[in-house]
A and B are shown apart, each in its own frame.
Chain A
Amino acid sequence: EAGVAQSPRYKIIEKRQSVAFWCNPISGHATLYWYQQILGQGPKLLIQFQNNGVVDDSQLPKDRFSAERLKGVDSTLKIQPAKLEDSAVYLCASSLGRVDYGYTFGSGTRLTVV
């Protein structure tokens, strides 16, 4: 079974620039999550999708972050404009439904904002 695919692996941008991350979940996984993991901390949920609908985006900074999951498969997370404090690893995860059903993380995208 192929894992959760994410790209790019690394990205360095200047503050106020925009950046986009891509995630392709495990085939058949209806639920997709985006997490932000700041160095030295645990992952923090940004947004959860069920198929192509948003279940939870309460912790997404909507003034600068946006995410979409067209067709209920792959997803993109965008930051515009980026701030220094957005430097983090952005992890994508997917599951069959609940977090105790085949919940798998991708390797993440490491973003550095300079």
Chain B
Amino acid sequence: QQQVKQSPQSLIVQKGGISIINCAYENTAFDYFPWYQQFPGKGPALLIAIRPDVSEKKEGRFTISFNKSAKQFSLHIMDSQPGDSATYFCAASMVNYGGSQGNLIFGKGTKLSVKP
């Protein structure tokens, strides 16, 4: 019930295309859903995050779509660029519970390659 399932494992997109990465969760108590971007040799960096009270959040070329009833959320990267090539992780947390229950549960990651 604590798992976050992420797909696909890898993704190749042409420059200018749309990259879509999906995540699913089981625990309805999760109340914070961030996406992290990780470049080789670096730690994950927060990209964008959403709360379950909204269905979509957009920041520049990055959009999170959230479907509470389906217990799914996805990351859309519009106009994908070679510089977006990285590994993307979805995560979930019960921040309002605090303590150890507020920790992040990560998906297994998606390696995105954007071809020029």
Q: Which residues of A contact B (CB under 8 A)?
A: 4, 33, 40-45, 48, 55-56, 58, 91, 93, 98-100, 103, 105-108
Contacts and interface: CB of A to CB of B under 8 A. Distances in A.
A108 B100 CA distance: 22
B20 interface: no
Interface in B39-58: 41-46, 49
B103 A48 contact: yes
Contact of A4 (B43, B46, B98, B108): B43
A4 B106 CA distance: 20
Interface of B: 6, 32, 34, 41-46, 49, 89, 91, 93, 95, 98-100, 102-104, 106-109
What does DSSP make chain A's interface, helix, strand, loop or mixed? loop
B106 A44 contact: yes
Contact of B43 (A42, A56, A106): A106
Contact of B99 (A4, A55, A91): A55
Contacts of B108: 40-42
A25 to B, nearest CB: 12
Contacts of B45: 105
A2 B3 CA distance: 33
A99 B104 contact: yes
